[in-house]
Structure formats: C-alpha cells, structure tokens
Amino acid sequence: MTTLLFPGRHLVTTRFQESYLRQILNLAPAAIPNLRRGKHMPAERFGRVVYAITSSNQDHSRYNPIAFHLRAVGVDRFACSIEMTCAVTHRIVGIPHYGHTDDFAAFTLKEIRDQSDRGLDLTPENTVVLCSTPEVISLYEALGYSVAPAEFGVVPRPVVPIDLVRLIGGVGMEWAGKPEICDGLSSAARTWLRDFPEIPARIARIYQDPLTTQDGSLTETRNYSTYARGMSEIVRIKFLEIVDVIKPGRIVDEGCADGALLVEAAKAFPDSDFYGVDLSSEFAARFQERQRAGEFSGAYTHFLLRNLMDPLFEDGSIDTTICNSTLHELWSYAEQEKTVRHYLALKLAQLRPGGRLVVRDVVGPEDGAVPVMLKCANDDGLGLPENLPEHRDPAWLQSLSTSARFRLFAMDFLAERRTRDVSAPTIAYDQAGEATSMCSFRTTLRSAAEFLSKKDYADNWRSEMHEEFCFWSHARWRDEVRRAGFEVLDARDGKAGSRVYVNPWVVENRYRGKVSLWTADGSTELPFPPTNHILVAVKPRA
C-alpha cells in the first residue's frame, strides 16, 4: 500500500485540492501528471492519506490564526468527503513548529513515525508527498521522495489556502456572501466554516488588528525570552506593590505577558476569576503552559489573545483591571494620546461601580522641559565607532560606555516614528564637557529620564527605542483619569493607593556610579526622577 503524505498548515481546504486528490488517488503513483520522481517510486496504488498539520502548537497569528483542534476537524471532514469516491483511509498528525530549518521535512517524517509509535514509517519506497511549495518540495526531493506538485506550475495559478484566509480576514462573518471565497473553498470547508463561526470571526480579528505583526506579536524586535525572564524575576515585588488595592471578584490583567502576575494574584484571591489579555502569540503559548502546569492554583483563569483597544468584556462586569507596564506600549505603538484616552474610556465602561483600574508603569518627571546637566560615565566601556553597525548587537551595546550609550540613544530613540511623524519627540543635547571619567550633556529632564529608563536594556534595544516612557507625569495621569470619569484613590492613613516613587534597586544597581543629574549650570546635584508610579482609578458608584 502506498501512502500520500500531505503536509501543510491546512488552514482551509480548497476546491482545487479536492479535485486534485480525487484525480491522483485513483491513479498508480507513476501515472500522476507532472510527478517529480524521486530516487524510488512506490508501485502500489494509494491506500492511505496522512495529513500532517504543521505548526500545530501555534494559532495566534496571521500566518496561522486557527487552533489545531479546529484545523483537525476541518481536515477530517475534508478527508471523509474524499473517501466517498476514493478507496483510501486517512490519518491526521500534528507537527509542532520548529522555526525555519533545512531539516523541516526530516523532522515532519520523524514526528509522524514517533507519534504513531512507528506505525507510520513513511519512506521513499512507500510514500509520495503532495506539496506545492518549491522550498519544501526541494527538502523532500533531497530525501529521495517523489512529489506530486499540486498547484505548483499550474497556469493560471489556482487559489491556495492562504489566499482564502486573507480574503476571510478582510470580511469576517460575511465570507459566505463572497463568491471569490466560496468558489475557492472545498465543499467540506464551507460547511466547516458555517458550523464554527468563531473561525472566520477570529481570522478577521487577527487580520484587521493594526498592531499585530505577521507572526502575531506587538513588535518583531523583542527578545521574548529575555523580556519574560526580566518580568518574572521581579513580578512578586510588583504584585506586592498593588495587592492592597485589588478588589476580588473578576480580575483582568491587561498586557499580562506570560501570566506571571496572575500566578501571584491567584494565590492571594483564590475565589476570584482571572482573565489574562495580551496581543503576543508568544506570550499566549507561555501563559497556556503555565495553565497546563497548574500554576494558577486551581483558580478559573482564561487567556484572551486580543487587542486591548477592543471592547473585551460586558459593561459593568469587572471588579479590577490591572494594567502593568502596558499603557506606555499602547501610547508608543498606536496613536499616543488618542489611544490612551480611548483605552481609559473602555476600562471605565467595563468596570462595575466601585471597580478599580490599577495602573503600574513607568512615568515621566514633573517639569520635564526643565534643562538639566546629565553626567555619564566615560570610562566604563568603549566609545562609539565612526561607522556604526546597523545591527545593535547586545554584546556590542553592553561593551559601550554610559556616555556612548547616551549618544546612541539620542540617535535611535523614536527614529522609526520620526520618519513618518515629524512631530515625534527628539533627544536634543549639547555636550557640556568631557573628562576621563565623566562626560556631561545638557538636555531636558524628560530626555534624561527616558535615557535612564532604557540604557540597560541591551537585549531589547530596538524595541525599547520604539517605546516612549515619559510622555506624562504622575500629575498629568491623574488629570487624565479624572477627565475620563474616574476618581483617584490616594494612599493615606496607612492605606495603599496612588503614588509615585523612585525604585531604590534601580538607583543602586543601574544609576549609582554611572550617571548623575545636575542643574543646567552644573552647580547643584539633583535627585533622580521617578522611575514608576501606581495609579488607582475608581469608577464612581453613582
């Protein structure tokens, strides 16, 4: 018996695939039109089709917006419809994402063999591969397999699955009324999409989200392992800063990353329900792994891969919304003030009367326009070379002196945004003097604060340079939440509430001996600007 191996993401099945399979499965392998013959040619007729669903552990991006279990249902329906006219059986195997690798074909074959307890040992002698992607065809040919090329080389080019997914992404639930979509789908795919309306709705949401990258993240330049590790290492401290202002009930962490803060919250409020929201497909996977491992202490915990600017919950249904180190990202990656104000309006609506929006984030200094002198260490690393490398390698960044990092920061900060928005902030400075040990720069307090908040993030320099931290001071934040309709809960009489502070660990480990702030004339040393603030906004009861 010969097996037809059909690898692919299998986001949808197409009318061409339906017709092509009905044609070739009733032929001897050698009789397949345009067959690319391998080193061996199976002689027997086809008796089985193995559908290898690749990227089975990914479902949060435009590249792959549909969960594996739903794709498997769609493939099963398609396979059963094929079997009505072809004397074959089928198997479905999920192939995890391996990233870009020249061993992709070999890994797929090994996964099929091992997941079937060696019951499916697909060799060039007993298998033909169905594939239309030139790069993947070459990988299987290098292993000796014969390949049925499907859409590859057909003129005019038939519609392929990703074409239809993109079209569905543009129209969502209206897909059934679009002939250009329906005519391209297999009959099984049409009924599948009707029976599972959440599939076209999800595709549309992901494709129409202006902040999502092709791979399902906010930015393509962030090292998520480093970011998650850094967040997790101090999450207990962050949680203790806000635990006393959290109202139990339905608690949402918006911008939850991998769910580390909700792990702490679930321990403190075991009878509450928890919702984590994030835009990153990478963090979605990490959050779900925490859930699988039981890290949320048995509490009800649900993850939503959503844009925070969408209406996420019913009005008046949430007791506490936590926004930890997230609002500066909304400001930076969307439409700055307009986006943050819209976000505040959405949060006011979703909270119950008396419910709380708890913001913990970086913050700008008061009087940010005041000129200051920033002194940076000049002897703790290398200077900037004449020809800067295009790639900001972390090891190279870490080798730079603090004064060299400031000069580089002034060039890189918001550089991408300035190419399309001339009003984007710039870092203006004058060099006020240089000694062996220190270099002095005259700039504004706000510019100095932006540099201080970013100078040590070598692993994520590019993404940090895209983000603006110090756009509003704590006083301005208080004005804005009141403008949105909230009341501000202050810390007083020993009770927790809104406050602004300088993180002593940051001062001791990142500032001391590296940087200092002085009045513009250099005569008086100044305290460091605040690093963070906590803002507790309460929805009025009446």
pLDDT of residue 211: 62
Q: Both 118 and 12 in a single domain?
A: yes
Compute the average pLDDT of residues 475-495. Answer: 94
* Domain assignment of residue 497, yes or no: no
pLDDT of residue 223: 46
Within 400-541, residue ranges assigned H as helices are 402-412, 415-418, 445-454, 461-466, 474-484, 504-506
Compute the average pLDDT of residues 279-301. Answer: 89
Beta strands in 265-378 (DSSP E): 273-278, 301-305, 318-324, 351-362, 371-377
DSSP state of 495: B
* Domain assignment of residue 511, yes or no: no
Residues of the domain holding 400: 371-466
Q: Both 298 and 436 in a single domain?
A: no
User: 466, 482, 515: which is the final residue of a domain?
Assistant: 466
pLDDT of residue 372: 97
DSSP string, 71-110: HHHHHHHHHHHHHTTS--EEEEEEE----S-TTHHHHHHH
pLDDT of residue 219: 47
Model pTM above 0.75 = no
What the block records as the tokens of 247 is: 């109202």
Q: Is the pLDDT of residue 31 over 50?
A: yes
pLDDT of residue 224: 45
Q: Name 477's Cβ contacts closer than 8 Å, sequence gap at least 6.
A: 359, 363, 533, 535
We report the CATH number of the domain holding residue 76 as 3.40.50.620
Q: Both 336 and 388 in a single domain?
A: no
Compute the average pLDDT of residues 4-27. Answer: 97
Q: Both 123 and 105 in a single domain?
A: yes
Distance CA 436, CA 380 (A): 10
Compute the average pLDDT of residues 195-216. Answer: 81
pLDDT of residue 336: 95
Q: Name 54's Cβ contacts closer than 8 Å, sequence gap at least 6.
A: 7, 8, 9, 10, 95, 97, 108
The CB density around residue 448, as the number of other CB atoms within 10 Å, is 29
Distance CA 50, CA 218 (A): 35
User: 208, 234, 268: which is the final residue of a domain?
Assistant: 208
Percent of the chain with pLDDT over 90: 80
Tell me the pLDDT tens digit for each residue of 163-204: 999 999 999 999 999 999 999 999 999 999 999 999 999 999
Residue bearing tokens 């010969």: 2
Distance CA 175, CA 154 (A): 26
pLDDT of residue 262: 96
* Domain assignment of residue 521, yes or no: no
Percent of the chain with pLDDT over 70: 96
CA proximity to 30, closest of 49, 45, 48: 45
Tell me the pLDDT tens digit for each residue of 58-88: 887 888 899 999 999 999 999 999 999 999 9
Q: Both 32 and 150 in a single domain?
A: yes
pLDDT band at 227 (very low <50, low <70, confident <90, very high): very low
We report the CATH number of the domain holding residue 238 as 3.40.50.150
Q: Is 237:258 a contact under the CB 8 Å cutoff?
A: no
CA proximity to 533, closest of 232, 225, 245, 229: 245
Q: Both 43 and 182 in a single domain?
A: yes
* Domain assignment of residue 158, yes or no: yes
pLDDT band at 307 (very low <50, low <70, confident <90, very high): confident
* Domain assignment of residue 486, yes or no: no
* Domain assignment of residue 218, yes or no: no
Within 269-401, residue ranges assigned H as helices are 281-292, 327-333, 336-350, 394-399
Q: Both 195 and 305 in a single domain?
A: no
Q: Both 250 and 196 in a single domain?
A: no
Q: Both 339 and 409 in a single domain?
A: no
* Domain assignment of residue 340, yes or no: yes
Q: Both 155 and 133 in a single domain?
A: yes
Cis peptide bond prior to 530, omega within 30° of 0: no
Q: Is 20:159 a contact under the CB 8 Å cutoff?
A: no
Tell me the pLDDT tens digit for each residue of 411-447: 999 999 998 888 889 999 999 877 789 999 999 999 9
Tell me the pLDDT tens digit for each residue of 318-377: 999 999 999 999 999 999 999 999 999 999 999 999 999 999 999 999 999 999 999 999
Quote the crossing angle between the two packed helices 260-268 and 224-233, to the nearest 10°: 30
Q: Name 523's Cβ contacts closer than 8 Å, sequence gap at least 6.
A: none
From 132-136, 142-146, 178-182, 213-217, the region with the lowest mean pLDDT: 213-217
Domain count, the chain: 3
**N-term to C-term CA, the chain:** 74
Distance CA 382, CA 387 (A): 14
* Domain assignment of residue 448, yes or no: yes
Q: Both 358 and 381 in a single domain?
A: no
Q: Please, what is the average pLDDT of the chain?
A: 92
What the block records as the tokens of 195 is: 């029976």
pLDDT band at 232 (very low <50, low <70, confident <90, very high): low
Q: Both 344 and 379 in a single domain?
A: no
User: 337, 362, 387: which is the final residue of a domain?
Assistant: 362
